[in-house]
Chain A
Amino acid sequence: MKDLYMPLFAAIGETATEEFTLGTVVAQTGFNAGSHRSSQTFDAVMTIAAKIPRPSDMPAEYASKITGLRACVGTDFTCQRRAAKSIVDSLTKP
């Protein structure tokens, strides 16, 4: 797992947009919280989540939810999973 994600995040940092990275962090955070994967990978994901600033041109609906997810860093799994689900629900609604 670690072997898979570390190069991935390294590659994302060089080639993709901040929003793309945020999306991967949202999904990964929610997945980690759902499977209670408290490994080095989890720590790395949350470190990235904490460092990523709020994109200036992100619609307010998503920006506030992402701020909510970042507020969950270091807290319980339920907070992280619900915050991630809230973002994904917004992204998938028609």
Chain B
Amino acid sequence: MYRFRRLFAAVAVGLLSIAPVAAAPRDDASLVDAGRSLGRAPLIFHDARTCAPVVRIQICIDDVSAYFGTTDGNARLGAISGAGPKPYDRLLAYITDGDPANIDPVLGWANVVRAPKSDDAREGQLKDAGIVSTLIASANGNASNQVPAFPPTFDAAQRPASDDPDLFSPQDRALLVSLGAADASQGTFIIRKANVEAVTAAASSLAQHADTRFPVHAAPNFRYDKSPAGYLRLGVAFATVLEYFELPQLATLQRAVRSSLQGCRRATTRRAVRALMR
């Protein structure tokens, strides 16, 4: 009898260990943020100097890592003609150490690696909204040329957009569907010069809706107080804000800058910051 109990316990433990564990549902804000992260990654490929601000180093590494998921980044990027050995490792080294000898400019123009897609329609739409609001909206003002051949990440066309009225406007959903359709038909996602203004304008509108519903958290949430460390944080935040203004290609960060500035203004040293901003 005792042996049967032990056998039953062993089988039960074994079954538990192989039983599928349901993943916890992600909230809408985190899904849009995940999309923003996927949208920032191609911008990093295109110009890794966007990771120059120190507060962005870990965020950039997380963005690039999320873009490749669990796949071998070196193997996938290595398929690009002209890429040197271990381009993924070198990209991370550039972000961490800032050594330009590590960056391979071919990544920004010839990359064809796709980001991982979602199986769930609602998740996919929210992620796509984050991607569009970051990647396409950042091309605003670049109407003199086509948007660079960023790797396709949209899959809205493969999954009909949700009719949930709480999710963005009908125009926003139409944009997601049209971008997904273009991705599916062209194989490579490129916004042509002929419609770049219209698409980026629509994407900017979507970005405004997304940012209103799901605020951007693209910078650390510094804790300001009247301590040496608090003033040190304020100095880091202030200089970082100025650095962001040097990076106009990142519309998402531009919007984060405004919220950072508001944080500075709420800080105890608001008088000093005001004086500096004059």
- What's the tally of chain B residues with a CB closer than 8 Å to chain A? 36
Q: With A34-B49, A77-B99, A91-B222 known to touch, is A11 a contact of B275 (CB < 8 Å)?
A: yes
Q: With A33-B98, A34-B54, A78-B98 known to touch, is A27 a contact of B240 (CB < 8 Å)?
A: yes
Across the interface, do A57 and B228 meet the contact criterion of CB distance under 8 Å? yes
Residues of chain B contacted by A62 (CB below 8 angstroms): 228-229, 232
Across the interface, do A20 and B97 meet the contact criterion of CB distance under 8 Å? no
Neighbour of A27 across the interface among B51, B54, B95, B276, CB < 8 A? B54
Across the interface, do A15 and B276 meet the contact criterion of CB distance under 8 Å? yes
A16-52 near B? 1/0 per residue, CB < 8 Å: 1101111111111011011110000000000000000
Q: With A20-B234, A85-B54 known to touch, is A55 a contact of B275 (CB < 8 Å)?
A: no
- What's the tally of chain A residues with a CB closer than 8 Å to chain B? 41
Across the interface, do B98 and A19 meet the contact criterion of CB distance under 8 Å? no
Within 8 A of B (CB), among A50-77: 55, 57-59, 62, 77
Residues of chain A contacted by B222 (CB below 8 angstroms): 91-92
B238 proximal to A (CB < 8 A): yes
Residues of chain B contacted by A5 (CB below 8 angstroms): 242
The complex places the Cα of A92 from the Cα of B230 at a distance, in Å, of 11
B204-246 near A? 1/0 per residue, CB < 8 Å: 0000000000000000101000001111111111111011001
B100 proximal to A (CB < 8 A): yes
Across the interface, do B99 and A23 meet the contact criterion of CB distance under 8 Å? no
The complex places the Cα of A84 from the Cα of B243 at a distance, in Å, of 15
B174 proximal to A (CB < 8 A): no
B96-119 near A? 1/0 per residue, CB < 8 Å: 111110000000000000000000
Shortest distance between the CB of A46 and any CB in chain B (Å): 14
The complex places the Cα of A8 from the Cα of B237 at a distance, in Å, of 14
Residues of chain A contacted by B73 (CB below 8 angstroms): none
The complex places the Cα of A26 from the Cα of B230 at a distance, in Å, of 14
Residues of chain B contacted by A16 (CB below 8 angstroms): 231, 235, 269, 272, 276
Across the interface, do B98 and A88 meet the contact criterion of CB distance under 8 Å? no
Across the interface, do A20 and B220 meet the contact criterion of CB distance under 8 Å? no
Shortest distance between the CB of A24 and any CB in chain B (Å): 4
Residues of chain B contacted by A30 (CB below 8 angstroms): 52-54
Across the interface, do A19 and B232 meet the contact criterion of CB distance under 8 Å? yes
* Beta-carbon nearest neighbor of A12 in chain B: B276
Residues of chain A contacted by B220 (CB below 8 angstroms): 88, 92
Across the interface, do A91 and B232 meet the contact criterion of CB distance under 8 Å? yes
The complex places the Cα of A15 from the Cα of B274 at a distance, in Å, of 10
Across the interface, do A34 and B98 meet the contact criterion of CB distance under 8 Å? yes
The complex places the Cα of A47 from the Cα of B208 at a distance, in Å, of 42
Across the interface, do A21 and B276 meet the contact criterion of CB distance under 8 Å? no
Across the interface, do B233 and A59 meet the contact criterion of CB distance under 8 Å? no
Residues of chain B contacted by A36 (CB below 8 angstroms): 98, 100
B57 proximal to A (CB < 8 A): yes
Across the interface, do A27 and B235 meet the contact criterion of CB distance under 8 Å? yes
Residues of chain A contacted by B236 (CB below 8 angstroms): 23-24, 26-27, 87-88, 91
Q: Which 7 A-B pairs have the closest CB atoms?
A: A23-B235, A30-B54, A34-B52, A19-B231, A27-B239, A24-B239, A34-B98
Interface residues of B (CB under 8 A from A): 49, 51-55, 57-58, 95-100, 220, 222, 228-240, 242-243, 246, 269, 272, 275-276
A-B contact pairs, 8 of them (CB 8 A): A16-B235, A16-B272, A23-B236, A27-B55, A27-B239, A31-B240, A34-B95, A77-B99
